[in-house]
Amino acid sequence: CGLFYMLFFPFCIWNVDAWLGRRLVHIWVWVMYLGQCTKDVIRWPRPASPPVVKLEVFYNSEYSMPSTHAMSGTAIPLALLLLSHGRWQYPLMFGLILAFCWCSLVCCSRIYMGMHSILDVIAGFLYAVLILVVFHPVVDLIDNFNLTYKYAPLIVISLHLALGIFSFTLDTWSTSRGDTAQILGSGAGVACGSHVSYMLGLNLDPPPSMLPLSLSSLTVTVFGKAMLRLLIGVVILLLTKIAMKKATIPLACKIFRIPHDDVRKARQRMEVELPYRYITYGMVGFSLMFIIPCLFQFIGLS
């Protein structure tokens, strides 16, 4: 799941449409945050094994209701369809089929993997649709605020940090706490990177007069440059993640006087996990939107 996000959002932002990519990130952050918090409030356990055969155990410490995989697997393709249709020229039926297949595959896979019941998945699907109904009409306002308001970075960083602290108080440690901080950090980093790019006049979105956009003919050169951007960019994102992780965990342990001989145990403390995840993925999001696009312009890959 993390690998998918590490490839999908960068590909969309660097190679397709940054306007579209930013909005997808905004919706993804809110869908995943609300889903993770709802899990920790309802506290339904995973399906019992036996009789269920579990093919995945990494997320076993999390609660089950609703399925956040089903939520993201519903919200992202539906948001992609809603945001891109009319902005890009393509057959509506193609978008509908893609959204249906994407959503169906993700939802069915969670049942097949033994991680969710049918009820978890249906609830996740409906919850994602409800959140999308609420947030889709205001996503343009959110993005415009992030880009243009002078104090937007300070407000976004503070808001996401407060939401992270709140979510950490809902329950004892589980993988969902780290995922929540990771998602909020990524969203804050993307918002701050977008703001800096906009203020410096970099990577401006196409003016309304150019809409709708058409898919350029795919040539070897276009495909090669897209893959090169993705390869170079993702490597930099991974190096950023590794470097920030190496720096933030020992620093947080030192500041809060927590022994870091056992890093795994130290990371289960809120004082370590929240700043580590938030700062690390905040820098990943900032690099995604500002540092790496600047590098592409410098080396002639933009």
The b/e string for 215-236 (b: 16+ C-beta within 10 A; e otherwise) is eeeeeeeeeebbeebeebbbeb
Is residue 69 part of the annotated active site? The answer reads yes
Q: Does residue 57 come out as left (phi exceeding 0), alpha (psi in the -120 to 50 range) or beta?
A: alpha
Catalytic residue (one of 26, 85, 116, 160): 116
CA angle (105 as vertex; 10, 189 as ends), nearest 5 = 25
Catalytic residue (one of 69, 136, 195, 260): 69
Contacts of 11 (CB under 8 A, 6+ apart): 226, 230
Both tokens assigned to 67: 């399925």
For 95, 146, 148, 230, 259, the CA distances from 167, given in Å and listed in that order, are 35, 23, 29, 33, 24
Is residue 160 part of the annotated active site? The answer reads no
3-class DSSP assignment, residue 85: strand
Enzyme catalytic residues: 69, 116
